[in-house]
A and B are shown apart, each in its own frame.
Chain A
Amino acid sequence: MNPILLAVIVVAAIGIIAAVMLAVASIVMAVPVDEKAEKIREELPGANCGACGFSGCDGYAAALSKGETTCTTLCSPGGSEVSKKIAAIAGLAAGEIAPQAAVVLCQGNNHNAGTKLNYVGVKSCKMATQLYGGPKDCIYGCIGFGDCIEACPYDAIHICDGVARINPLACRACKACIKTCPKGLIELLPLHQAKAAVLCANKDKGALTRKECKAGCIGCMKCVKACEYDAVKVENFCAKVDYDKCIGCGKCHEACPVGAIDVIELGKIALKSINRI
């Protein structure tokens, strides 16, 4: 027989045998898959960011399908739309998810905050924190080495002038950066709503804060007096805004002598910060 023909026949025969074996095996050994979970999984964004508190999208889909959780509003990246869809599949009640975005509460950029040491070690906030609280004078502020950038699954964070800044339109409120920031400077704020926010976390006394950072909160209580809604409190020489009470009137911003408190409307600021990037 023609050797080429023989070779073709042998290889084809092996291929067909293998194919049949695989086909049979895939039917005989089929593992029953949870169809409901698969469907829910398809609706979820698929970033595996862990905002829901489960081990990624697969974990959340499985938990919903098995009834381990009945809450359909855990996926903040997906928002209300995804909540509606997965509620329909799982036969549960849908809920509204107020859109939020993360904000870095620090203005200690290279102009405002001084530096106390020339750090040449590993470029990681977590590492730098362990050395005298970081290279900046203020031990409460953003170090700017970008641990949060690496944590962000949506590429929403950039370092601008030595401080991390989050693009609210790209942010999906998954809280990955909040968990990563060694200084705990990142918070979620509602999107498209004007809210006053204290862009400082410095708990030193006013005089010390002044030396450390030009934009640091000195705890002068002027914002507390200016606020008509009892939304601002000062604790440990640092103001804090109750976002539920705040209506974003801006009186506190006008009263602040150092500009540490600002009214921000996430989404509007985004346009500015995109231009800057």
Chain B
Amino acid sequence: MTKVFLSILITAILTENFLLSKFLGICPFLGVSKKLNTASGMSLAVIFVMLLATAVTYPINTLLVKNDMEYLQTIVFILVIAALVQLVEIVLKKYIPSLYSALGIYLPLITTNCAVLGVVILNVDNGYNFAESMVNSLGAGLGFMLAMVIFAGVRERLESCDIPKFMQGLPITLVAASLTSISFLGFTGIVDGIFG
């Protein structure tokens, strides 16, 4: 049992990294990775929302499947996740203001980010049960955080480089992103190696 969970977790973090292998959630990856603290704040919010979204959409999906309405998955998931995040935001504001100010603007920003929607739909497609889904979401969130933090480090280095004018800004960022994602190719097969 633990072996299954561990293999799902490591797959989600390293080999099937959402940002660097699946290219989901590229908008925050390029948008808020300029500084380490914004990158980690964003990643915390992503982990939080991914876990929450999985917990809520799993029972809804079972209901949909029971009534032969799987085709409504995408739209219902978006609706539910969006409403839920808003609700959580209100609750946090009231009861845990410190967490609210830490997650701050990132929470509504990633409400229906494609990475969040992607993880819940992939859970369904892979036929995971509830516990496996939660582990997969956690792994996806941690992988997101790992990629964000690594990339924020790369970008902070880029800040102090003398970059040719035509490469400044987004071009060099995209080149750096592709190099970072190539480095994650090195993890291919690691899960089979450990657990296979």
Nearest-Cβ distance from residue A7 to partner chain B, whole angstroms = 6
CB distance from A12 to the nearest CB of B (A): 10
Given A7-B69, A120-B162, A122-B160, answer yes or no on A14-B76 (Cβ-Cβ < 8 Å).
yes
* Complex contact B69–A6 (CB within 8 A): yes
The answer to whether A22 and B86 have CB atoms under 8 Å apart is yes
Interface string of A9-40 (1 = CB under 8 A from B): 01100110011011001100111000000000
Contacts of B105 in A (CB 8 A): none
Q: Mark A87-108, 1 if CB is under 8 A from B, else 0.
A: 0000000000000000000000
Known A-B contacts A7-B69, A10-B72, A122-B160; A21 and B83 likewise in contact (beta carbons under 8 Å): yes
Give complex CA distance A40, B162 in Å. Answer: 44
The verdict on B87 contacting chain A, using a C-beta distance below 8 Å, is: yes
Q: Mark B123-162, 1 if CB is under 8 A from A, else 0.
A: 0000000000000000000000000000000000000101
Q: Are B160 and A7 closer than 8 Å at their CB atoms?
A: no
Total residues of chain B contacting the partner, CB 8 A: 19
Q: Contact: A11 with B90, CB < 8 Å? A: no
How far apart are A230's CB and chain B's nearest CB, in angstroms? 48
A10 near B69 with CB under 8 A, answer yes
Cross-chain contact of B93 among A6, A31, A120 (Cβ < 8 A): A31
Contacts of A15 in B (CB 8 A): 79
Smallest beta-carbon distance B169→chain A, Å: 15
Is B99 in contact with chain A by the CB < 8 A criterion?
no
A126 nearest CB across to chain B (Å) = 12
| B residues in contact with A11, CB < 8 Å | 72, 75-76, 79
Flag if A22 contacts B69 (CB, 8 Å).
no
Q: How many A residues touch B, CB cutoff 8 Å? A: 17
Q: Is there an interface contact between A21 and B79, defined as CB atoms closer than 8 Å?
A: no
Which residues of chain A are within 8 angstroms of B76 by Cβ–Cβ distance? 10-11, 14
Give Cα distance in the complex from A14 to B94, angstroms.
Answer: 25
B125 to chain A, nearest CB (A): 20
Give A3's nearest chain B residue, CB to CB. Answer: B69
Q: Using an 8 Å CB-CB cutoff, how does the interface string of B83-103 with A read, 1 for contact, 0 for none?
A: 110110011011100000000
Cross-chain contact B79 with A14 (CB below 8 angstroms) = yes
Contacts of B79 in A (CB 8 A): 11, 14-15, 18
CB distance from A30 to the nearest CB of B (A): 8
B75 with A29: CB separation less than 8 A: no
One digit per residue, 1 when the CB lies within 8 angstroms of any chain B CB and 0 when it does not, for chain A 106-125 equals: 00000000000000101000
Q: A25 CA to B82 CA in the complex, in Å?
A: 15
Q: Which chain B residues border A122 with CB–CB below 8 Å?
A: 160, 162
In the complex, the chain A residue whose C-beta lies closest to that of B84 is A18
| Chain B residues whose C-beta falls within 8 Å of the C-beta of A25 in the assembled complex | 87, 90-91
Give CA–CA (A14, B84) in the complex, Å.
Answer: 12
Instruction: Kindly identify which residue among B80, B93, B160 contacts A18, using a CB–CB cutoff of 8 Å.
Output: B80
Write out the residue numbers on chain A whose beta carbons fall within 8 Å of the beta carbon of B90.
22, 25-26, 29
Please report the C-alpha to C-alpha distance between residue A221 and residue B82 in the assembled complex, in whole angstroms.
72
Q: A21-B83, A22-B83, A29-B91 are in contact. List 16 more A-B contacts (CB 8 A).
A: A6-B69, A7-B69, A7-B71, A10-B72, A10-B76, A11-B75, A14-B80, A18-B79, A18-B80, A22-B86, A22-B87, A25-B91, A29-B94, A30-B94, A31-B93, A31-B94
Mark A residues whose CB is within 8 Å of B: 6-7, 10-11, 14-15, 18-19, 21-22, 25-26, 29-31, 120, 122
Q: List 6 A-B residue pairs with CB atoms under 8 Å apart, sorted by A's residue number.
A: A11-B76, A11-B79, A14-B79, A15-B79, A22-B86, A30-B94
